[in-house]
Structures are given as structure tokens and as C-alpha cells.
């Protein structure tokens, strides 16, 4: 069955880049402009396997989104990866404590994203 | 000053190739001209030469100098990253180190680990972080974690244990970054207690391995590929002498002992393959 991912970032360019990489990994990808919209999609769009989450977004931040998702037992299997310009170690600790599974600091490249996903057991198929 | 980057003349390339072979045993085939040019460019720039060709002319005109050392180290420097390829570290964390701990717990309570080509230190520090994860009573064990490299400059960098954001953003699990590093602006400093676990020293793998004890884990990842077949065989013979019978040699994902030394057997751990001399009880 095709895996589903959610890319949550208020930058359309970033959503396009991340969606492209996840698409190459075989994911069916949906995008959201902030945490609130992402919650709506999660609640109505069937089970998602992975979410890449920016921190600073209008309406609901990525951090608040992670907190909300981790309050819901039915989203327990959703892997949450923060992808953000928040590069302070204290921010990283907060996100991990709130339940983020991984954390990528911007700027990053495709290789870095793939390496981080590999830590979560998500890899491109090797021919 | 602008430094000219044009391709190396064959005679210059041959000179560098001979110099490198003599001092580091690294073999450079004809396809490495561009690589040499790009590696020597920062050296030329740093030493005030107008071009890589002028740098090489300087090397030719003098006996071995500080600049010769810089050139040799620039050519020998290899790419590295924390938890490179991840699967070998997963195998160490979940199977190999717990097995070794079980075997040694009632006997020596000692582990010897050596990273033979550690570059700027990410590999031994990754191993140190894994050890801190899986050895709960680590203070009651004697763990010797050795790390060597051909390049003195790389050893200095590794000893400093200071990394750029770009370097810690690659392959390093976020929870281990938070636990094992302090942040100073844009730099990430490995914590003193992790740094103290590793003993760094300079070593040419094709020279005598003095001061290397019998080891339980020996990392030679993505390094034998730089040597010719005879040198690889010579190094693997030394590995046999220094690897405990139930210890493991850990090579790069695309490397193998096959057709180099038949006394090693391949042991698969999930998606990682390690090598053993075949005399121990194994995994």
C-alpha cells in the first residue's frame, strides 16, 4: 500500500522541494500551510505515516502541532520530523520532548534529509 | 590572489602520484588528475602560490618540507560523517556490542576498539555515543577507544571536537546531538565526557602498528580502496594479527575482503556486513 506523508510549511517553495523528495521515495504527499490545516487533513484524510513539520507558521506553529498530535493516541504511529530554521539546541530539546522523532536544521540538502529519514527506517528502495 | 585551476600537466601529476605513493602508500590512477587539482588548490592558495603547477614546482625544488606534508595530507583526507550509512551503527548498538558485553562481562570487562582512518573524528565519536547508549554501567568497564589517521591536521581537528552545523545535521540522530554536544553559536562542541573516551594519534596504516593492542572492533571504512591490491593484502594481514578471534573488522559498504584475504568470513547483521577471522565463536 502506498505510504502517505504530510508536508507542513508556510513556504510553497519548501513544500514543493520536500514533496518532490518524498515523492521519489514513493510517498503520496499532501501539503499544509500551517499546523491547524495539517490537523484538519490528518483528521479527515486517512492514516498518514510521516509528517515533515516547519516550526514557525501562521495560525498554529509546528511545535504546537507536534504537541496536539502526540495528545492523540490514534496518531501514535505517525513519524514527526521537524524541518526548521530554529537552530538552537534548546528548541531541539523542546521538540523532542514534545514527541518529535527527528529534527533537521535548515539549510539542509536532499542527502541530509534522506540520512535523517534512514534513521527512522525510511529509505529509498535499492535496485 | 586568484589561483589558477587549470588541469595538471601529466609530469606534475606523475610527480604528485609518486610522492603520495612513497609517503602514504595511496595509489592514484590516471582518472584522479582532477581530484588532485581540487585537493591541492586550497594548499596553493594558503601558501601564496599562483597556481597548483607553481606549488608542484616548489615541491620538486626542495627536500621534504611542511608544504609537502600539507600536500600529502590534503590528498589523503577522506569524506566522513556522523553515523555514516547508519546500518553498521544499528548493528553495533543492537547486536554486536551487547554480544561482546555479555562475553566479556564475567571475564576481562574490557573492550578495545580502533578506528584506523578516523579523518575529522565523526566515526570514533559516533562509536563513543553508541557505547554511552548501550553500556549502562560504562564506568565499571575498561574501554579503550583508539582513533588514528594519516593526517596530523585531521587528528588535530578531531581532538578539538568542534563541528559545524552542516556536519551535525548529517546522519546524527537529534536525541544524540542534544545529549552529547554543547552549542556555541554556529559551532557544536562534543561534550568533554565523550571527547575523553577517545585517544587520537597519527598513523600511516602501511607502517608498523606499534601501540595497537588486540581489538574487539576495528573500523577500516572506505580506506582500503585508496591502496593498491598488495598494500590492501598487507594491511589485512596486520588486521588478522590485531583482531581478537571473536572481534569484527568493519569496512565500507562497498568494500570486501573477498579475493584479498580468504581467512576472513563475512557475518551479516541486518543490512550491515562485518568481517571475522573465523577462529572465534562468532555472532
CB B169 to CB A96 under 8 A? Answer: no
Q: What is the pLDDT of residues B207-248, one digit of tens each?
A: 999 989 999 999 999 999 889 999 999 999 999 999 999 999
Interface check for B170 against chain A (CB to CB < 8 A): the answer is yes
* B5: pLDDT strictly greater than 60: no
pLDDT at B279: 55
Q: Enumerate residues 6+ apart whose C-beta is below 8 A from B204.
A: B23, B24, B25, B150
Smallest Cα distance from B168 to chain A, Å: 9
| Domain B87-276, second-level architecture | 3-Layer(aba) Sandwich (3.40)
Q: Does B179 touch chain A (CB under 8 A)?
A: no
Measured CA to CA, the distance from residue B200 to residue A123 in angstroms comes to 34
pLDDT digits (tens, 9 = 90+) for A29-80: 999 999 999 999 999 977 999 999 999 999 899 999 999 999 999 999 999 9
Please state which CATH number belongs to domain B10-76: 1.10.155.10
Check CB contact of A28 with chain B, cutoff 8 Å: no
Domain with CATH 1.10.155.10 in chain B: 10-76
**How far apart, in Å, are the Cα atoms of B54 and each of B5, B14, B90, B135, B176?**
11, 15, 47, 53, 46
Inter-chain Cβ pairs, chain A and chain B, closer than 8 A: 39
Domain residue spans of chain A: 4-119
Q: Please, which residues 70-99 of chain B have a Cβ atom closer than 8 Å to chain A? A: 81, 83, 86
Average pLDDT, whole number, for chain B? 92
Among A53, A119, A121, A124, the residue to mutate for chain B (most B Cβ within 10 A): A119
Query: Cell 592514484 identifies what position?
Result: B28
Interface probe, candidates B91, B175, B176, chain A, greatest A C-beta count within 10 A: B175
Instruction: Retrieve residue B18's grid coordinates.
Output: 609518486
Chain B interface includes A114 (CB < 8 A): no
**Rounded CA separation B252/B225 (Å):** 9
Residue B188 C-alpha cell reads as 557544536
Question: What are the pLDDT digits (tens) for B149-207?
Answer: 999 999 999 999 999 999 999 999 999 999 999 999 999 999 999 999 999 999 999 99
Interchain contact, A92 vs B165, CB within 8 Å: no
Query: Rounded to an integer, what distance in angstroms lies between the CA atom of residue A54 and that of residue A51?
Result: 10
Q: Where, residue-wise, is CATH 3.40.50.150 in chain B? A: 87-276
Residues of chain A positioned with their CB less than 8 A from the CB of B184: none
Residue A86 forms contact with B (CB below 8 Å): no
What is the mean pLDDT of the segment spanning B39-53?
A: 92
Q: Which residues are CB-neighbours of B245 under 8 A, at least 6 positions away?
A: B276, B277, B279, B280
Contact A103 B174 (CB under 8 A): yes
The whole-angstrom distance between B66's CA and the closest CA on chain A is 36
- H or E element in which residue A7 lies: strand A4-8
d(CA B114, CA B212): 8
Q: Measured between CB atoms, does A124 come within 8 Å of chain B? A: no
Secondary structure tally for chain B: helices H, strands E: 12, 10
CATH code, residues A4-119: 3.40.50.2300
Helix axis angle, A12-24 to A110-119, nearest 10°: 60
Amino acid at each position: 500500500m502506498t505510504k502517505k506523508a504530510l508536508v507542513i510549511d508556510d513556504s510553497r517553495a519548501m513544500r514543493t522541494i520536500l514533496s518532490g523528495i518524498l515523492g521519489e521515495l514513493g510517498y503520496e504527499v499532501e501539503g499544509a500551510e500551517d499546523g491547524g490545516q495539517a490537523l484538519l487533513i490528518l483528521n479527515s484524510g486517512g492514516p498518514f505515516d510521516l509528517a515533515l513539520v516547519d516550526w514557525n507558521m501562521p495560525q498554529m506553529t509546528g511545535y504546537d502541532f507536534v504537541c496536539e498530535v502526540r495528545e492523540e493516541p490514534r496518531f501514535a504511529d505517525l513519524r514527526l520530523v521537524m524541518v526548521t530554521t530554529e537552530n538552537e539546541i534548546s528548541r531541539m530539546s523542546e521538540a523532542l520532548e514534545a514527541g518529535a522523532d527527528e529534527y533537521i536544521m535548515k539549510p539542509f540538502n536532499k542527502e541530509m534529509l534522506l540520512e535523517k529519514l534512514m534513521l527512522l527506517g525510511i529509505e529509498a528502495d535499492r535496485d | 590572489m586568484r589561483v589558477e585551476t587549470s588541469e595538471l600537466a601529466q609530469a606534475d601529476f606523475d610527480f604528485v602520484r609518486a610522492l603520495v605513493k612513497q609517503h602514504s602508500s595511496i595509489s592514484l590512477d590516471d582518472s584522479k588528475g582532477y581530484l588532485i587539482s581540487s585537493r591541492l588548490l586550497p594548499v596553493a592558495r594558503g601558501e601564496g602560490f599562483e597556481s597548483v603547477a607553481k606549488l608542484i614546482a616548489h615541491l620538486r625544488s626542495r627536500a621534504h618540507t611542511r608544504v609537502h606534508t600539507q600536500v600529502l595530507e590534503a590528498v589523503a583526507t577522506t569524506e566522513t560523517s556522523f553515523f555514516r550509512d547508519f546500518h553498521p551503527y544499528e548493528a553495533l548498538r543492537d547486536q554486536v556490542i551487547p554480544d561482546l558485553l555479555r562475553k566479556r562481562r564475567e571475564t576481562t570487562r574490557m573492550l578495545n576498539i580502533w578506528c584506523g582512518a578516523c579523518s575529522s573524528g565523526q566515526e570514533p565519536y559516533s562509536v563513543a555515543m553508541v557505547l554511552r547508549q548501550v553500556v549502562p554501567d560504562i564506568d565499571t568497564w575498561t574501554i579503550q577507544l583508539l582513533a588514528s589517521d594519516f593526517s596530523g591536521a585531521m587528528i588535530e581537528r578531531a581532538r578539538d571536537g568542534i563541528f559545524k552545523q552542516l556536519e551535525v545535521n548529517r546522519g546524527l540522530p537529534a536525541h544524540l546531538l542534544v545529549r552529547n554536544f554543547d552549542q556555541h553559536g554556529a559551532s557544536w562542541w562534543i561534550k568533554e565526557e565523550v571527547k575523553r573516551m577517545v585517544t587520537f594519534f597519527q598513523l600511516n596504516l602501511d607502517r608498523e602498528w606499534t601501540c595497537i593492542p588486540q581489538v574487539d572492533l576495528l573500523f577500516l571504512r572506505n580506506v582500503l580502496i585508496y591502496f593498491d591490491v598488495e598494500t590492501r593484502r598487507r594491511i589485512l594481514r596486520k588486521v588478522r594479527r590485531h583482531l581478537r578471534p571473536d572481534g569484527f573488522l568493519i569496512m565500507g559498504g562497498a568494500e570486501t575482503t573477498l579475493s584479498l584475504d580468504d581467512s576472513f568470513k563475512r557475518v551479516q547483521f541486518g543490512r550491515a556486513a562485518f568481517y571475522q577471522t573465523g577462529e572465534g565463536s562468532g555472532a
